[in-house]
Amino acid sequence: MPPMDATSSSDITTLHPDIIRSHILNRLDGPTLASASSATLHLRRLCTDHNLWRTICAANWPSLNQPKAAALIDTFPAAHRSVFSDSFPSIQYSPPPHPITPQLSPEFVSAVDLYYKGKPVFSRVITTETQKGWFLSSPLWVDLLDTNEVVPTPLIFAKCDEESSWLAHLEENLGLSWIVIDPTRKRAANLSSRRPVAARRHWLTGDLEVIFAVTMETVQWVIRVTCCGKAGGAMHVREASLTMEDTEGRHVTGRDSFVILQDAMENGERRKPDPEEAKARFDKFCRLKREIRERKLRRDSVMDTVAMLVSFTIFVSLFWFMVFGF
């Protein structure tokens, strides 16, 4: 075989762009495609193809195929590529102690997908209006499902003697994505830990709760998925809600929550999703809440004791004065 000369290079630029797109690039996942785009200028031009990123987003988040979400994404600077770069990574952010309050966007759009063993079982897009008085001053509470609505799943409710292993199974195999899109600023963020940080029975109602969370130092986004069903029968989702709480366990108002979210979208750090790290951050946040609550209880107990002593002293003094006159 004769030796290859310099002109018979196997450089990828010698391949027809259609071959690269159809036989190479459309087989890559999002992170790999993003890495490939930084290899050469030629690949960068090919990797920014809108249809490639539309397909990747549809595979990861079926909710983005729904008309409202799709129309909104088309207004982004790089369409689906912009949403992927914002929403695939995990967001890390620490709210400043005295944040500057920006103009709040009139609405936010949530694109939510529930998965079991990596396969989507339910998707929905909802809109949250931010200009209403109840939203601005009340604790944030975004409901995904309508009243009395239940969502069937392929899971079977465990029997009582199997519950501990079943809860571990849910933590391993149930997944959720909750992407919040800001239509005004053309930014997005995923407020779910992707895999559950906890699965447990509610201490009061006994309902099964599967919890997803994203911790932002002094506050935490919490998604609670409440499930129902009979032992040995099909499991249904009857509630899924998004809230924000602080380290004292108080729910943050709608306005303050989305002010924090807007700043996190603009200034937060995006990192590779790590479910184990998300769970560790959730556990740390819960420990901090518990410590603050215990300190508050001890402080309140001391204040109650002091108040009782002061009241007793005043009572004894008045009694002494009334009886002895001095």
Reported as a single tens digit per residue, the pLDDT across 25-40 is 777 777 887 777 777 7
Q: What is the pTM of this model?
A: 0.84
Tens of pLDDT, residue by residue over 193-224, are: 999 999 988 777 778 899 999 999 899 999 99
The DSSP result for 284-324, as a single string, is HHHHHHHHHHHHHHHHHHHHHHHHHHHHHHHHHHHHHHHHH
pLDDT at 5 over 60: no
Residue with tokens 């339910």: 122
Closest CA to 176 of 130, 124, 137, 228: 124
**Structure token digits, residue 265:** 């979208």
Distance CA 119, CA 138 (A): 35
pLDDT range class, residue 9, cuts 50, 70, 90? very low
How confident is the model at residue 14, as a pLDDT? Answer: 66
| Identity of the highest mean pLDDT range in 39-53, 62-76, 196-210 | 62-76
How confident is the model at residue 4, as a pLDDT? Answer: 42
In the three-class reduction of DSSP (H, G, I as helix; E, B as strand; rest coil), residue 70 is classed as helix
Exposure letters 91-110 (e unless 16+ CB within 10 A, then b): bbbebeeeeeeeebbeebbb
Residue with tokens 């204040």: 303
Q: Which residues contact 14 (CB under 8 A, 6 or more apart)?
A: none
